[in-house]
Amino acid sequence: MARLALFVALAVAACSSRGSQAPPVAPTSTPAVSAPAAGPTAGQRTDAALSGLVMGAVLGSMFGPIGAAVGATGFAVYGAVRGTPVLGGGGGYGATYPAGGYPYPSSGYPYPGGGGYPSAGVPAAEAQREAELEGQLEQQVAKGDALEDEIEAELRRQEDLLKQIEREEATGSALDAEASAPAPSQGELVARADPRSAPQAPSERDLPIAIFEADQRKVPKGTWGNPKEITAKRLVLDADRDGSPELIRFVDPKTGALLYKEEDRDYDGRMDSWTRYESGLVSEIQRDTDGDGKLDEWQSYGADGRMTRREVDRDADGARDAVYEYSSGVLLSERHSGKDGKLERAVYYQDRRLVRAEEDLDRDGALDTWTYFQSAGDQEVVSRVEKDTQKRGKPDTFETYAQVAGKTVLEKREEDKNGDGVVDVLSLYENGKLKERQILDPELVPL
């Protein structure tokens, strides 16, 4: 629109310049009189139009891009008609000349031969003048194009600056609100620190929409486990403006409910946490905790917002070698595997209490030790240990333990030497020391 204003102004200037020339007057014998004022020249009108264009754009920019265009148009047209800018002072083209009018001698028009217009050379002079005017017009158009580009760039810069200020203000407000939130209670801290309580799903930070860049995306079927293609609104946050987002949220365009989230939790420029939601609640979290670019932790959550299962790849070999299962908000079991994927240790809990452990102590791929626990006050102590010492795939040695003066000591050992399921040797202990041994199967004598 500013470019259109410049063309209009320059056209008006050219036409006004041509129309302002006094018509030819036949010489007479009467005394010479002063010629009527012919108006500003084309160059003066052009300069005034350009000045008006600049001034109008600058003043109008306070009211946005439309105000800049309207101001530029109005001021440019005024300058083209009057020959002076709106705020340039003076009273139009008359102020350019002395009060006496045109700067011609009083004897009349300065044409050769005494009076009247010259009879030759006028067309050539007019053509040269038209060429000069056209050159001036082209220069002013080029200046107008450059000025328009500068104005548009400045407006874009101001808009970006305003958006940045709004984001910073919104972020500051969110952080202030977070800082003023009440601290967790002692009970909540204890629950969080209890490794046998099911962790609560991480809560979402209440960040204002203004700090995100938003667009809309089609998500193909199966991308997040979704049964069909869906449309999602994508919210991107690049707080440090390094070109690598720290947070990307996908939400339902209609309800605003979270569908999926990607995070850069260590701010190294790479996403390392991916969260899937169902009905706006956390359903699954996958993470890369060591920054090697591969997943090494998988978390599942129930409708109550508590963890139901956690799997970990502890040695970064791509295999899940630790599995934790939760039920009713508490740890139910944990299973640990070796590099070959075979179970090495399993632990079971009941009401947050350790009740049983199963182990492969010789790492041959088969469980060979079963340990049972019981509660002694606020502690869990060994009450019984069963072992498969003969590699038959079932226990053949049974040890019973007791608490003596706050210590766990061996009280009795039973052994099935021939694997027939019947105890063959019974050993009794006192304060952890062997007191008596009984051989119950005569075929084992002598041992």
CA dihedral 187, 188, 192, 194 (to 10 degrees): 20
With respect to residue 371, please indicate whether it lies within any of the assigned structural domains: no
With respect to residue 228, please indicate whether it lies within any of the assigned structural domains: yes
135 in the same domain as 19? yes
pTM for this predicted structure = 0.59
Gap between the Cα atoms of 423 and 414, Å rounded: 6
Count the domains in the chain.
2
With respect to residue 192, please indicate whether it lies within any of the assigned structural domains: no
With respect to residue 313, please indicate whether it lies within any of the assigned structural domains: no
- Is residue 402 classed exposed, middle or buried when 0-12, 13-18 and 19+ CB atoms within 10 A define those classes? middle
Query: What does the pLDDT read at residue 11?
Result: 43
Which residue type sits at 74? Answer: G
Range(s) of the domain holding residue 53: 2-24+35-108+121-165
211 in the same domain as 150? no
Query: What does the pLDDT read at residue 180?
Result: 59
257 in the same domain as 156? no
Gap between the Cα atoms of 399 and 402, Å rounded: 10
Domain boundary among 252, 272, 303: 303
232 in the same domain as 161? no
**Count of residues making up the chain:** 447
CA 363 to each of CA 136, 297, 384: distance values in angstroms, whole numbers, following the listed order = 94, 25, 22
135 in the same domain as 71? yes
> 50: which residues sit within 8 A by CB, 6+ positions away?
6, 9, 76, 79, 140, 143, 144
- 3 state SS of 40: coil
209 in the same domain as 275? yes
With respect to residue 251, please indicate whether it lies within any of the assigned structural domains: yes
**Which residue, among 274, 275, 258, 263, has the nearest Cα to 239 in the 3D structure?**
263
With respect to residue 116, please indicate whether it lies within any of the assigned structural domains: no
Query: What does the pLDDT read at residue 36?
Result: 47
Gap between the Cα atoms of 314 and 307, Å rounded: 19
Gap between the Cα atoms of 328 and 307, Å rounded: 10
- Strands 407-415, 397-404: pairing kind: antiparallel
- Strands 322-327, 407-415: pairing kind: unpaired
With respect to residue 91, please indicate whether it lies within any of the assigned structural domains: yes
DSSP 306: B
Report CA 131 to chain centroid distance, whole Å: 57
Query: What does the pLDDT read at residue 103?
Result: 46
206 in the same domain as 67? no
Gap between the Cα atoms of 377 and 360, Å rounded: 29
Query: What does the pLDDT read at residue 326?
Result: 97
pLDDT along the chain (447 residues), means of 10: 48 45 45 51 75 72 67 72 64 43 44 44 74 80 80 79 68 58 58 82 89 94 92 93 93 95 94 96 96 96 96 94 96 95 96 96 95 93 96 96 93 94 94 91 72
9 in the same domain as 90? yes
Query: What does the pLDDT read at residue 176?
Result: 61
Gap between the Cα atoms of 55 and 62, Å rounded: 12
Gap between the Cα atoms of 322 and 296, Å rounded: 10
- Enumerate the H helices of 83-182 as residue ranges: 122-179
391, 367 Cβ separation under 8 angstroms:
no
Q: What angle do CA 390, 392, 397 make, to 5 degrees?
A: 50
151 in the same domain as 39? yes
Domain boundary among 264, 279, 303: 303
With respect to residue 399, please indicate whether it lies within any of the assigned structural domains: no
Gap between the Cα atoms of 70 and 385, Å rounded: 92
144 in the same domain as 17? yes
257, 250 Cβ separation under 8 angstroms:
no
51 in the same domain as 152? yes
Query: What does the pLDDT read at residue 188?
Result: 54
- 3 state SS of 212: coil
161 in the same domain as 220? no
Gap between the Cα atoms of 382 and 270, Å rounded: 47
Domain boundary among 303, 335, 363: 303
